[in-house]
């Protein structure tokens, strides 16, 4: 009797994990044209065990991008469409009375999954948005005073339209701070838009990703091995000081009423390490910090009202901060 063929997802080493996560980006490209920066950001979030908020106008493939990512991973995935009438218990689960036993039992909500797709999260009122706070921070849900652990890994990929669109509710600062990255999806350039229409003319159907050839190429073991490898990436004291200086500079910016907190600085360090590891390095450079500063910090800062009236953007302020902070050599 021969031994079964080993599963490639069983205890992969760091190089196998990196190859699998690079393959994720290739698979996503089979269904999503362009948006390479957003795809890389999603992979970085998976490595850093962080949550992602994708923002863009309707029709730029936010939901398709997250659905395609889920299709490339051997993870349990649940999608929730956030609506104005969605209740907190519809997300976390609730106690249900069983007439046969005359007892209450807990019925798990869709949050009990590995990858939660929170579609149009800012179309539901703040009370329901807040139901995710404990889940995102503590990886658990408390109902009737009893904490219940969520599966490992647990990642929230949320989409939202810009808040100026009708029927949206701005996310509170406490919830925004729980997202590791905020990725903005722009309207694609002309050549990408031509490619999108060409694919549809050839019969591409975004509801059937398997027909586009999208397959699962990574699983929990790859993510675990990759995350472990990221934690070994070295950060020189000068680079740590650079991250701190960038965060502190945002707090003294005259255009901001709220700068980056120490948790935001820690998040930037985590994403820079994941970026460096994906690039095949075991050390972080100041360029890694600069590359991840935008998606990691933009949602952790608030503009002063007078700056908003002048048309100043958070990204522009952050660019100015990065230009003003000396880069270690």
CA distance 5 to 32: 33
Q: Per-residue pLDDT tens for 139-160? A: 998 887 788 899 988 999 999 8
Is pLDDT above 60 for 24? yes
In this structure, are residues 50 and 43 in contact, taking their beta carbons and an 8 Å threshold? no
pLDDT at 59: 83
pLDDT at 129: 83
* CB neighbour list of residue 107: distance below 8 Å, 6 or more residues apart: 93, 94, 95, 96
Residue 158 DSSP code: E
3-state secondary structure of 165: coil
pLDDT at 6: 43
* CB neighbour list of residue 239: distance below 8 Å, 6 or more residues apart: 272, 284, 285, 286, 289, 328
Task: Name the residue with higher pLDDT: 88 or 239.
Answer: 239
State the average pLDDT over residues 290-307.
92
Phi and psi angles of residue 117, each rounded to the nearest 5 degrees, phi first? -95, 105
State the average pLDDT over residues 171-200.
89
Q: Per-residue pLDDT tens for 255-272? A: 998 899 999 999 999 999
pLDDT at 99: 76
pTM: 0.86
Bridge partners (DSSP) listed for residue 283: 234
* CB neighbour list of residue 32: distance below 8 Å, 6 or more residues apart: 39, 61, 64, 65, 68
pLDDT at 11: 66
What is the CA 134 to chain-centroid distance, rounded? Answer: 17
Is pLDDT above 50 for 195? yes
CB neighbourhood size of 7 (10 A): 10
* CB neighbour list of residue 48: distance below 8 Å, 6 or more residues apart: 180, 227, 230, 270, 271, 273, 274
Is pLDDT above 50 for 3? no
pLDDT at 2: 39
**Best CA proximity match to 154, nearest among 118, 207, 123:** 118
pLDDT at 166: 67
Q: Which domains does the chain have, with CATH numbers?
A: 10-193 (3.40.50.300), 233-329 (1.10.8.80)
Q: Per-residue pLDDT tens for 39-48? A: 899 999 999 9
pLDDT band at 4 (very low <50, low <70, confident <90, very high): very low
Question: Mean pLDDT over all residues of the chain?
Answer: 88
pLDDT at 168: 76
Q: How would DSSP label each residue in 90-115?
A: HHHEEEEEETTTTEEEEEE-TTSSSE
CB neighbour burial string for 210-238, b if at least 16 within 10 angstroms, e if fewer:
eebebeebbbbbbbbbbbebbeebebeee
Helix runs in the chain, H state only = 14-28, 36-48, 62-71, 88-92, 126-129, 133-138, 173-176, 190-201, 220-230, 237-251, 262-278, 286-297, 305-309, 314-324
State the average pLDDT over residues 9-19.
80
Q: Per-residue pLDDT tens for 29-78? A: 888 888 888 889 999 999 999 999 999 888 888 888 888 988 898 888 89
Is pLDDT above 70 for 165? no
* CB neighbour list of residue 280: distance below 8 Å, 6 or more residues apart: 18
pLDDT band at 295 (very low <50, low <70, confident <90, very high): very high
State the average pLDDT over residues 219-248.
94
């Amino acid at each position: 009797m021969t031994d079964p063929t080993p599963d490639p997802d069983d205890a992969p080493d760091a190089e196998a994990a990196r190859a699998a996560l690079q393959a994720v980006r290739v698979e996503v490209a089979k269904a999503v044209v362009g948006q390479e920066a957003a795809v890389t950001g999603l992979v970085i979030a998976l490595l850093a065990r962080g949550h992602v908020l994708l923002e863009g106008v309707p029709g730029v493939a936010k939901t398709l991008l997250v659905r395609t990512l889920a299709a490339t991973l051997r993870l349990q995935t649940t999608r929730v469409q956030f609506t104005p009438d969605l209740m907190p218990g519809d997300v976390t689960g609730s106690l249900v009375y069983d007439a046969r036993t005359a007892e209450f039992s807990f019925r798990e909500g869709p949050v009990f999954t590995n990858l939660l797709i929170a579609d149009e999260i800012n179309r539901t009122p703040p009370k329901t948005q807040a139901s995710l706070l404990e889940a995102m921070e503590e990886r658990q849900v408390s109902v009737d005073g009893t904490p219940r652990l969520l599966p490992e890994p647990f990642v929230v990929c949320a989409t939202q339209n810009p808040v100026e669109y009708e029927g949206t509710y701005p996310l509170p600062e406490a919830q925004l701070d729980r997202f590791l990255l905020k990725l903005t999806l722009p309207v694609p350039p002309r050549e990408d838009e031509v490619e999108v229409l060409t694919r549809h003319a050839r019969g591409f159907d975004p509801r059937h990703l398997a027909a586009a050839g999208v397959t699962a190429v990574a699983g929990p073991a790859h993510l675990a091995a990759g995350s472990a490898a990221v934690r070994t990436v070295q950060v020189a004291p000068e680079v740590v000081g650079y991250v701190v200086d960038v965060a502190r500079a945002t707090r003294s910016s005259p255009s901001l009423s709220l700068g980056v907190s120490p948790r935001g600085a820690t998040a930037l360090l985590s994403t820079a390490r994941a970026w460096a590891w994906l690039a095949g390095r075991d050390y972080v450079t100041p360029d890694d910090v600069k590359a991840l500063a935008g998606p990691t910090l933009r949602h952790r800062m608030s503009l002063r009202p007078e700056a908003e009236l002048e048309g100043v953007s958070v990204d522009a302020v952050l660019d100015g901060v990065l230009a003003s902070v000396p880069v270690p050599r």
